[in-house]
Amino acid sequence: MLGGSITLFHVRGIRIAVDWSWFVVLFLVIVWLSDFYSDILGNPGSDLGPYALAVASAIGFFGSILLHELGHALVALREGVGISSIQLWIFGGVARLERDSDNPGTEFRIAIAGPLVTLAIVLALTAVGILAAGWKDFTEAMVVDGGADTSGVLAMMAWLASINALVLVFNLLPAFPMDGGRVVRALAWKRSGDRARATRFAATLGRGFAYLFIGAGLFLIVQGYVFNGVWLALIGMIINGSARAATVQTAITSRIEGVRVADVMDTEPVAIPAELSVERALDEYFLRYRWPWFPVVDAAEQFRGLLERDRADDVPEVSRGSSSVGDLLDSEQAAMHVSVDAPLDSLLGNANLRHFGALMAVDGEGRLRGVVTAEQVGRALRDATAQAQG
C-alpha cells in the first residue's frame, strides 16, 4: 500500500523518505491540536501561538517516529543486515530490510530496538515534564485535557509523551509484522529452531489480531465513532495482508534454502574500467553491446558502481574525452551489490533488485565476480517449485 515517496535526506546511506499520505497525518495532527493548545493558552482562535505549537508537535511526532525506525535500522546495520530505506506513511514508518535475519537473536535485537527508542523518548519527556509542572498537571495534559494548568511547551511535551506511549503499546502487540509480532517470531524461532515454522506461527497470530481490529473497528463505526472505527479497521486489513504475505514468502523461501547467489549468477560480467574516458565507454561498450548499463570496476577489479547510458549521454561532447567513468558514479550506485555467498532468499525483498532488475555479485574483498538478475532469481524459484511438486 506504500505508493510514491519523496526523499528527504540520507542517514549513513539510508534513504529517508515520506509517502504523500504522511502529510495527511501531519495536517490532522495540526488541526486537532490547535484547539487543545488554544484552551491551554487561553488564547482566541485568531492567535498564532496555538498553531505554532501544533506545528511543532507535528514535527516532534515526525521526529519520534523517525527515531523509532532508525533504532531498527542502526541495529540492523550493526548486525550486518542492510537497510535500503526508511519510509514514513499514514500508519507510521517502515524500515525496509534488504534481507531476513540469519538467527533468532538478530531478529529479536532488530525488532526490539525501535520500541526501546520510543520507550526512552517517553521516559525522558515524562521525567522532564513532571519535574517542571508536577504530576497532576502534566498527566492531565497527557490525556489532552484543555483545563490543565501548564505552559504550552510543557503541554506539547505531555502530548508527545502520550502519543509515543500509545505508539509503544501498539507496536508491542504480538501481531506480526509489527514489532511485537517480530519479537514473538524470534522467540518461537529460538524455541523451535525453524524460522519458517516460527514465521507461520507469528503470522497466524498476527492475522488473529487483524480480525480483532477489523471487528472492533466495525463496532466503533456502528456506535457512531466513524473516524476511529475506519482507522482501526484499515490497520487490521493492512496487518492481515502483511501477515498473509509473510506466510506466502516463507513458503517460497523454504524451497530455495541453501541456494546461494553464486549458484545462479552470470559469472562473466562485462565491466567498464573506472579510469576509462566517457567517450571510449560510449564507443566501446554502449554502442557495441547496446546494453543500458554496465558495472564499473577499478584497477583491482573492485566494484565501484553502475554507469547508465543516459548518465554518460548527459556529459557534453567536448568533455567526454577528459571525463572518466569513475567521475559519474555516486554512493547509491555503489550500493547495488550483494555478496556471492549471500543466500538467494535474501534477495526476495531487495528493493534495489526489484527496482533495477539486477545486482552485482562481489566477493569478500569487494571484487566483481558476477551479476545476478531478477530473472535468474525467478527461474530458481520456478525450478525449486517444480521439483517440490514433482
According to DSSP H, which parts of the chain are helical? 20-41, 49-78, 104-133, 135-142, 152-171, 179-192, 195-222, 226-253, 278-281, 287-289, 309-313, 331-334, 351-356, 374-389
The pLDDT, as a whole number, for residue 267 is: 92
Residue 231 lies in a domain: yes
Whole-model pTM? 0.72
Query: Looking at 126, 147, 172, which one is the last position of a domain?
Result: 172
Query: Looking at 150, 172, 194, which one is the last position of a domain?
Result: 172
Domain match, 235 and 309 both: no
pLDDT band at 1 (very low <50, low <70, confident <90, very high): very low
Q: Cell 489532552, residue? A: 144
Instruction: Tell me the per-residue pLDDT of 137-150, one tens digit each, with 9 for 90 and over.
Output: 777 767 655 555 66
The pLDDT, as a whole number, for residue 164 is: 92
Residue 191 lies in a domain: yes
Instruction: Tell me the per-residue pLDDT of 340-379, one tens digit each, with 9 for 90 and over.
Output: 988 887 787 676 787 788 999 999 899 999 999 988 888 8
**How far is Cα 217 from Cα 208, in angstroms, rounded to an integer?**
14
Question: CATH code at 373?
Answer: 3.10.580.10
Domain match, 189 and 285 both: no
Instruction: Tell me the per-residue pLDDT of 186-244, one tens digit each, with 9 for 90 and over.
Output: 999 999 988 888 988 999 999 999 999 999 999 999 998 887 788 889 888 988 888 88
Report the mean per-residue pLDDT for the chain.
85
359, 385, 355: which is closest to 5 by C-alpha?
355
Query: Looking at 127, 148, 172, which one is the last position of a domain?
Result: 172
Domain match, 104 and 137 both: yes
Domain match, 41 and 96 both: yes
Domain match, 248 and 265 both: no
* HSE of 358, CA atoms in CB hemisphere, 13 A: 18
DSSP 64-97: HHHHHHHHHHHHHHHTT--EEEEEEETTEEEEEE
The pLDDT, as a whole number, for residue 160 is: 92
Can you say how many angstroms the Cα of residue 365 is from the centroid of all Cα atoms in its chain? 28
Residue 177 lies in a domain: no
Percent of the chain past pLDDT 70, that is, above it, reads 92
Residue 20 lies in a domain: yes
Domain match, 26 and 139 both: yes
The pLDDT, as a whole number, for residue 4 is: 59
Grid coordinates in use for 255?
Answer: 524451497
Residue 377 lies in a domain: yes
Q: Which long-range contacts (CB under 8 A, 24 or more apart) does 373-381 make?
A: 373/266, 376/264, 376/265, 376/266, 377/264, 377/344, 377/347, 377/348, 377/353, 379/264, 380/256, 380/259, 380/263, 380/264, 380/344, 381/252, 381/255, 381/256
Domain match, 97 and 210 both: no
Domain match, 334 and 361 both: yes
Instruction: Tell me the per-residue pLDDT of 51-71, one tens digit each, with 9 for 90 and over.
Output: 888 999 999 999 999 999 999
Residue 356 sits in which domain range?
Answer: 261-389
Do 289 and 281 contact (CB within 8 A), yes or no? no
Q: Is 308 helix (H, G, I), strand (E, B) or coil?
A: strand
How many domains does one find in the chain?
3
Do 296 and 337 contact (CB within 8 A), yes or no? no
Whether the per-residue pLDDT at 325 is higher than 90: the answer is: yes
Residue 350 lies in a domain: yes
Number of Cβ atoms within 10 Å of the Cβ of 124: 13
Domain match, 29 and 106 both: yes
Domain match, 11 and 115 both: yes
Residue 331 lies in a domain: yes
**How far is Cα 366 from Cα 59, in angstroms, rounded to an integer?**
40
Residue 49 lies in a domain: yes
Domain match, 5 and 95 both: yes
Q: Is 316 helix (H, G, I), strand (E, B) or coil?
A: coil
Domain match, 249 and 276 both: no
37, 38, 8, 40: which is closest to 23 by C-alpha?
8
Q: Is 188 helix (H, G, I), strand (E, B) or coil?
A: helix
